[in-house]
Structure 1
Amino acid sequence: MGTTDETDPSDGPAFQPVFENRVRFAETDQQGIVFYGEYFTFQDEAVSEFFRQIDYSYEKMEDDGWEIHVANAELNYRDGAEFGDVLVNELRVAEIGTASVTFDYRVRRTGDDAVLADGTVTHVAVDGETGETTPVPDAFREAIAAFQGGLPTDG
């Protein structure tokens, strides 16, 4: 996998760096590398930061009567990070359906720009009161499009 952002426009919008973290000792395993499960935490932090950066917080979702639930999360491990490494977590909305949003995620080490992990996380929009699936609001779609220069469905 490449170490620079040579995103092919046909693959969707460019990845956006949204969250940076320094690996803490508590995130490493006995071998001294980041425990694989921590990458899901990093992925979740990146999604939360993405929402802050598009100015569409969880509180705004609740105020608007909807919320999101994770339906699927996947990660591919490419290389190991160690205590003290600085990581840049990147996201892009790869797909947005009627009631779901799928993010592509990847994390790079700043020292050598190596991709350490990549994957996806899919959220489903649900009504805040009933828990039933609901359409993703237009305001949320517009916030995503403004942040990443369009939606993946924009040809």
Structure 2
Amino acid sequence: MGTTDNTGQSDFQPVFENRVRFAETDQQGIVFYGEYFTFQDEAVSQLFRDIDYDYDRMHEDGWQVHVANTELNYRNAAEFGDVIVNELRVAEIGTASFTVDYRAKRAADDQLLVDGSVTHVAVDLETERPTRVPDAFREGVTAFQGGLPDS
């Protein structure tokens, strides 16, 4: 279960680690910037599994998520072979959307590599229209990080 910092905001939680593969690097020998969007997406997918609300359960409950916005800020470079710790926290849950803050750090020295966020909109599977984020999802987030963010 997560804790909160002195502002009341939930702390980042590590959700998975990955070792940088050669195919994820560019000609300069560092992680190609676009790969971090994939890492961010995998971190969010792992969050869904960690709160026991994966994509299969979403579909069973009649909804899915669409990405509305994503942003990353590049702070430091990672290279082939580096282990990256991918962390996140749910920063906001609205009626039909939620925003997840993301950051990636190098495991060897805890150096911040990137930070940013991704906003998902809950969408009804049949109508393709925004729908309310289910209470069970909110409850999973509460258990994961020790409370809901202030929305």
Which TM class, normalised by the smaller chain length?
A: over 0.9
Cross-structure match for 1:62: 59
Letter in 2 for 1:38: E
Cross-structure match for 1:16: 13
Output aligned runs, 1:35-114, within 5 Å: 35-114=32-111
Cross-structure match for 1:118: 115
Long gaps (5+) in structure 1: 1-6
Q: Percent same amino acid at aligned positions?
A: 73
Cross-structure match for 2:26: 29
Instruction: Report the alpha carbon displacement of residue 11 of structure 1 after superposing the two structures with TM.
Output: 5.7
Letter in 1 for 2:110: D
Distance 1:127 1:142 in 2: 19
Long gaps (5+) in structure 2: none
In the superposition, the TM-score normalised over structure 2's length comes to 0.95
Please point out which of 113, 130, 135 is paired with 2:132. Answer: 135
Distance 2:20 2:145 in 1: 27
Aligned length: 148
In the superposition, the TM-score normalised over structure 1's length comes to 0.93
Distance 1:11 1:143 in 2: 18
Distance 2:6 2:87 in 1: 16
Distance 1:153 1:67 in 2: 23
Distance 1:9 1:52 in 2: 28
> Tell me, what secondary structure is at the counterpart of 2:127?
coil
Cross-structure match for 1:150: 147
Instruction: Report the alpha carbon displacement of residue 40 of structure 1 after superposing the two structures with TM.
Output: 0.2
Please list every run of at least 4 consecutive aligned residues from structure 1 whose deviation after the TM superposition is greater than 2 angstroms: none
Distance 1:8 1:58 in 2: 30
Distance 2:138 2:31 in 1: 34
